[in-house]
Structure 1
């Protein structure tokens, strides 16, 4: 390598490291909160929304953000009110996470963590949650192709595939008719039984060697997941009739 090329490498290295750092947020949380499983529930969903990856660190001094006793109260549960402290105010990814966690979508994601059937966390009563309009980006045509290739083993995804898949599994049209359809599709990979055989690039952890996927795994990129959501957003919801009324 010439001296000129070597100097060029050193000039380019800091910029590449900064770009990588901007796309990754370091978060500290006490072990008592980590052990509840909340972070494993909310962090992948944040990454799907923003493409910003959040990694846990062992020491608050190494973190862009810290959850604990200091900062803005963001949720309560596990015996206390939890606060979010932004330790790197000029970090774009950290700012995105802080705004997301305080938003309606972020708060709904926290409240949706109910491993035993009951929500473990709730927003602190004194904090007003900001409404944030949901947007769906992506290539709907690509989403249709992805759905056809990777979802029809279980689901009917359109009229042409009616009768395909597993009879007891709801079709995309039925799922689209549900009020929380976007959450169901955006986070399907952690909902049973999908977690046992689904991988999202740069989001989910690889399957443990001793517990491989029981069937041929489904692998999706974030772009493909965005496209799938865009396709479902264009679908007409199935007519499920009037809600059941109890006498």
Structure 2
């Protein structure tokens, strides 16, 4: 399990990151469409996709803490069960219940850059 004290450090690192470039947003969109769309609606990409109870990216962006949620999504349920970010220890020794998604830390930043381009709904 990742120590809760790790989250503030991650948020600090994300706050110190340079502004996202348009290319980062395009990369983030591709990552989101490939991996996140199996559960979430991703902008106009899969309007009728996702899992019914899973919030769309646009709905999450409507929340006051949306940035924090996207920066730490891999630590939030149910993501730790199948999403792994390189350099962070897996939260459990159990096998994932879905096809595992292994991302580089830069991918999290790229996804955030893409979400910046979406409108809150």
Which bin holds the TM-score, normalised by the shorter protein?
A: 0.7 to 0.9
**Unmatched segments (≥5 aa) in structure 1:** 1-36, 52-131, 239-247
- 1:41 aligned partner: 4
For the pair 1:235 / 2:84, whether they are aligned, the reply is no
**Unmatched segments (≥5 aa) in structure 2:** none
CA gap of 1:202–1:49, structure 2 versus 1, over 3 A, is farther
Tell me, yes or no, if the aligned pair for 1:197 and 1:213 is still in contact at 8 Å.
yes
Which segments of structure 1 move beyond 6 Å, counting only runs of 4 or more?
132-135
TM-score scaled by length of structure 1? 0.43
1:214 CA drift (Å): 1.2
- Per residue, is there more strand in 1 or in 2? 1
TM-score scaled by length of structure 2? 0.84
- Per residue, is there more helix in 1 or in 2? 2
1:49 CA drift (Å): 4.7
For the pair 1:194 / 2:108, whether they are aligned, the reply is no
1:205 CA drift (Å): 2.6
Higher relative contact order (CA 8 A, sep 6+): 2
1:133 CA drift (Å): 8.7
SS of match in other structure, 2:31: helix
Cα RMSD, aligned residues only:
2.6
- 2:99 aligned partner: 216
Task: Give the Cα–Cα distance (whole angstroms) in 2 for the partners of residues 168 and 133 of structure 1.
Answer: 33
Choose 1 or 2 for highest CA Rg.
Answer: 1
